[in-house]
Amino acid sequence: MKIGISCYPTWGGSGVVASELAMALAGDGDEVHVISYALPSRIELIHENLFFHQVVVPHYPLFDYPPYSLALATTMVEVARHHHLDLIHVHYAVPNAVSAVLARQILAPQPLKVVTTLHGTDITLVGNDPNYLETTRFGIVQSDAVTAVSGALRRTTQEQLGITSRIHVVPNFIDSSRYELSRGLPGARRWARPGERVMVHISNFRPVKRVLDVVEVFLRVRQEIPCRLLLVGDGPDRPRVERRCRECDACDSITFIGNLPLVEEVLVGADLFLLPSETESFGLAALEALSCKVPVVATSVGGLPEVVEHGVNGFLHPVGDLDGMAASALELLSDDARRRRFGEAGRRAAVERFDEAAAVAAYREVYRLALGGEAKAEGEG
C-alpha cells in the first residue's frame, strides 16, 4: 500500500503515535510518506520505504495568519498525485482532517481515501471551541474512516460533536522491546541521591496537564520520605511551575529535564509516575511508564481508566484530589514489594494489551474498510 501520514511534529503523543505507526508500516513493506511542517521528533528516516515531505507555509505581508491548512492540503495533493497514494491517514483532526478532505476533492477523479485518528484535545479542547467546531465536525464526517485512541474519546466525540457515523477504537500502543533495551540504564536514578525515591512526570506543560498538582503531590510526599521529582518536557506552564518550586524552597529536590526524544531513558529506574491531568483521552506517557515497570498515580478521567488499572498497576483519583494522590504515592513508595508487583503488572498490561503489532494490524483493517472492503463480522472496532 502507499500511505500518506500527516501529523504534528512536536512532542505531543499524537505525533509520537503517528511516527511509530509510520515506521512500523514502512518496516512491514508499505511505502509511507510523512507530511508535516517539520520532521516529527520520533521519526528515524533510515528506512528505504519511508519518506518525509515538509509543508512550507510562505509568509506574505497580507497574511497576519499564514494559511497552514491550505499549504498542508496542497502538499497532500502533490504527494498523493506524484506518489499515487492509496490513502492519507491524518492524526489530530484540526486542521489535518479538513486539509485531507480538501486534497481528496482537488485530486478527483484520482481516488484518495481519508482516514482520521482523533487523539484527544482535537475534540475535547480545540475541536470543541466554537471557532473550530463546524470545520472539525465536517472533517470527521467526511473522512472515509475514523478512529479514536480510546473508548472514552469515542463517546466524547459522539456526545460533544454529535457524530453518529462509525468511530473505530484503536488504542495507542508502544514498541515494548524498546523499553526492554533501556533496562540496563541507570535511568531516573542518575538524578537521585542515595535513599531517595524518584517520581517522574512527563508532559507538554499545558494547563490541561495540571503540572502544579504534580508539585503539590510531591511536596506532600516529601514531608514523609526522602524523594526527588523529575519533570520531563516543556511548555507554557513551565515558568509557573518553576516559580512554585522556588516559592516552596524545593528547587533542590525538583529537576527540570526538558524535552527528551527517548523518555524511557528517564522512566527506567523511576519509582512512580504522576499524571494528574484535567482531561486525558488516553495518556500515552502513562503507558510508557507502565512499560518501564513504573506504577502510575493519575486522575480517573477520559481514557486513563482504560490504561491504568486501579489497585493493580497504579491508582486513580478525582481531578484535584491532591491528598488522595499523595496517599497513594506514599503507599507505593514505602512498600518495595508492592511497588514491584504493580510494576510487573504494568509491564504485563503494556505487552499484552497495547502491543504494537496488534495496533498496526487494527489500523490495516481500518485502511481495508476505508478502501471499500467489507467489515469483518465479529470483534471489530
Residues engaged in binding ligand GMT (CB under 6 A)? 12-15, 17, 92, 119-121, 149, 172, 204, 206, 208, 279-284
All residues at 6 or more sequence positions from 58 whose CB lies less than 8 Å from its CB, including other chains: 66, 71
Q: In the sheet that 314-317 helps form, which strands lie side by side, from edge to edge?
A: 254-258, 227-232, 197-202, 272-275, 296-299, 314-317
Please report how close the Cβ of residue 10 comes to ligand GMT at its closest, in angstroms: 8
Least distance (Å) between residue 184 CB and ligand GMT: 27
Q: Under 8 Å CB-to-CB from 123, ≥6 apart: which residues?
A: 93, 136, 153, 156, 157, 160, 161, 281
Q: Residue 255 or 299: which CB sits closer to ligand GMT?
A: 299
Beta pairing partners, 116: 90, 146
The smaller minimum CB distance to ligand GMT, of residues 15 and 343, is found at 15
Shortest Å distance, C-beta 208 to ligand GMT: 5
> Is the CB of residue 121 less than 8 Å from the CB of residue 346?
no
**Cβ 197 to ligand GMT shortest distance, Å:** 26
CB closer to ligand GMT out of 42 and 220: 42
- Residue 77 CB, shortest distance to ligand GMT, in Å, is 24
Q: Using the 8-state DSSP alphabet, how is residue 208 labeled?
A: G
Cα of first residue to Cα of last residue in the chain, in angstroms, is 22
Q: Grid cell 512527563 — which residue?
A: 202
Question: Shortest gap between Cβ of 43 and ligand GMT (angstroms)?
Answer: 15
Comparison of 4 and 40: residue with beta carbon closer to ligand GMT:
40
CA distances in angstroms from 111 to 4, 84, 88, 193, listed in the order given:
13, 9, 11, 60
Q: Which is nearer to ligand GMT, 26 or 208 (CB)?
A: 208
Q: Is 120 in contact with 149 (CB distance < 8 Å)?
A: yes
- Please identify, using beta-carbon distances, which residue of 18 and 199 lies nearer to ligand GMT: 18
